[in-house]
């Protein structure tokens, strides 16, 4: 626990978000912080402490705050709920919180902890038993910005692809005998929810959660062998997405992507449609929506207006130059 609450681990998450790397002083300070962390703790402890910190800061704590906001002030929460009263954990503005909603929150937190146990088990198996390198790279060398960007892009693409395949062909497939039981578990757990509300991102049967959530999240880090810094940013991105997209709120940090993902999650849970499972479906729905067409038309009209204004300014300047020349010629 001392590694979790030490300054280096917290700085690992907070410094990139709170400070600018424009000055060499910040870079030197961050490198010293990272070096202290790596030299004072084992790689496995660094990885697990960073993972726990990210999950606490970007998913568990904000989701718990949103969950308490929903159950303690339902009259205020219903205003920003996409599904109105149905989007509240109790389903009603004046409804009392039931054991089922607390069970959902408890299982969600349990699955997050289960993921930490699985991650530590995988690293222990690779390093201690098999004697090979760890799944996540922990070294004093910091990755270059383009290495971080490359890892994030490929990591998110792999994650979305694996998530889509698993959900479409394993967790929503009653034809295959091997997938039938998993589909039943997924439907009897996650799809028993009326609508998404805070903490439901990780609510599912533990086995189907491992297959549908943990594998798509940790497999990209293993395949790419992400540097710990890259993995922290990768995990933070996923945690923020899970926190807001599954909150059930209409107010999103980025209305285009997170708002679209949240709407697809609502539709998938309400209608149980396969066509609302992946990022590709999200983008396709966004492009085909009336709102997207309206934004495109507004952008075109804005461009036309700017062109007309630019043409008018050029003509005005040309007339002024012509009048000046004519006045000069008249005097001469």
144: DSSP letter? P
Query: What is the SS3 assignment for 253?
Result: coil
Alpha helices in the chain (DSSP H): 7-18, 24-40, 43-55, 61-72, 74-77, 99-124, 145-169, 177-189, 206-209, 215-224, 228-245, 257-271, 279-288, 290-331
The number of beta carbons lying within 10 Å of the beta carbon of residue 164 is 17
Of residues 326 and 124, more confidence is placed in: 124
- pLDDT of the residue at 269: 72
Exposure of 45 in the CB half-sphere (CA atoms within 13 A): 14
With 90 as the cut, is the pLDDT of residue 96 above it? no
Q: Is 129 exposed, middle or buried (0-12, 13-18, 19+ CB in 10 A)?
A: exposed
Average pLDDT over every residue of 301-321: 69
Helix (H, G, I), strand (E, B) or coil at 297: helix
Cβ pair 232, 273 in contact under 8 A: no
Radius of gyration of the chain from its Cα atoms, rounded to whole angstroms: 26
- Give tens-digit pLDDT for 206-256: 999 999 999 999 999 999 999 999 999 999 999 999 999 888 888 766 555
Two structure tokens written together for 317: 């300047």
Start-to-end C-alpha separation, the chain: 90
Instruction: Show me where the domains of the chain are located.
Output: 1-41, 50-288, 297-332
176 pLDDT above the threshold of 70: yes
Query: What ranges in 99-209 are assigned the alpha helix state H?
Result: 99-124, 145-169, 177-189, 206-209
Stretch among 26-35, 79-88, 306-315 having the lowest mean pLDDT: 306-315
134: confidence class by pLDDT, cuts 50, 70, 90: very high
pTM: 0.75
Give every CB contact of residue 252 below 8 A, 6+ residues apart in sequence: 244, 245, 258, 259, 262
Q: How far is C-alpha 176 from the chain's CA centre?
A: 31
CB 258 within 8 A of CB 241: yes
Lowest mean per-residue pLDDT among 10-14, 48-52, 66-70:
10-14
Which pLDDT does position 218 carry in this prediction? 97
Instruction: Report the distance separating Cα 45 and Cα 4, nearest Å.
Output: 9
Region for residue 32 given its phi and psi (left: phi exceeds 0; alpha: psi -120 to 50; beta: otherwise): alpha
Q: Is the pLDDT of residue 323 over 60?
A: yes
């Amino acid at each position: 626990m001392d590694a979790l609450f030490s300054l280096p681990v917290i700085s690992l998450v907070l410094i990139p978000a709170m400070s600018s790397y424009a000055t060499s002083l910040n870079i030197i300070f961050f490198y010293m912080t990272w070096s202290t962390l790596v030299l004072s703790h084992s790689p496995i402890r660094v990885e697990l402490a960073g993972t726990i910190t990210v999950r606490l800061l970007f998913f568990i704590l904000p989701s718990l705050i949103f969950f308490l906001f929903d159950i303690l002030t339902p009259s205020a929460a219903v205003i920003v709920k996409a599904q109105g009263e149905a989007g509240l954990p109790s389903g009603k503005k004046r409804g009392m919180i039931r054991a089922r909603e607390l069970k959902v929150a408890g299982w969600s937190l349990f699955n997050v902890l289960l993921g930490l146990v699985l991650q530590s088990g995988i690293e222990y198996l690779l390093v201690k038993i098999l004697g090979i390198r760890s799944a996540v790279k922990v070294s004093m060398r910091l990755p270059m910005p383009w290495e971080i960007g490359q890892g994030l892009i490929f990591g998110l693409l792999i994650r979305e692809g694996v998530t889509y395949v698993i959900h479409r062909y394993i967790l929503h497939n009653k034809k295959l005998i091997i997938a039938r039981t998993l589909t039943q578990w997924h439907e009897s757990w996650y799809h028993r929810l009326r609508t998404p509300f805070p903490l439901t991102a990780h609510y599912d049967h533990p086995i189907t959660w491992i297959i549908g959530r943990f594998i798509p999240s940790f497999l990209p880090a293993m395949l790419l062998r992400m540097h710990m810094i890259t993995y922290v940013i990768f995990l933070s991105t996923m945690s923020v997405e899970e926190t807001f997209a599954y909150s059930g709120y209409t107010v999103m940090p980025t209305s285009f992507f997170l708002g679209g993902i949240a709407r697809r999650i609502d539709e998938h849970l309400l209608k149980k449609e396969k066509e609302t499972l992946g990022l590709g479906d999200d983008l396709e729905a966004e492009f085909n929506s009336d709102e997207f067409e309206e934004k495109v038309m507004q952008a075109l009209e804005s461009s036309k207006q700017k062109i007309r204004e630019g043409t008018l300014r050029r003509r005005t300047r040309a007339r002024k130059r012509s009048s000046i020349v004519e006045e000069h010629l008249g005097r001469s």
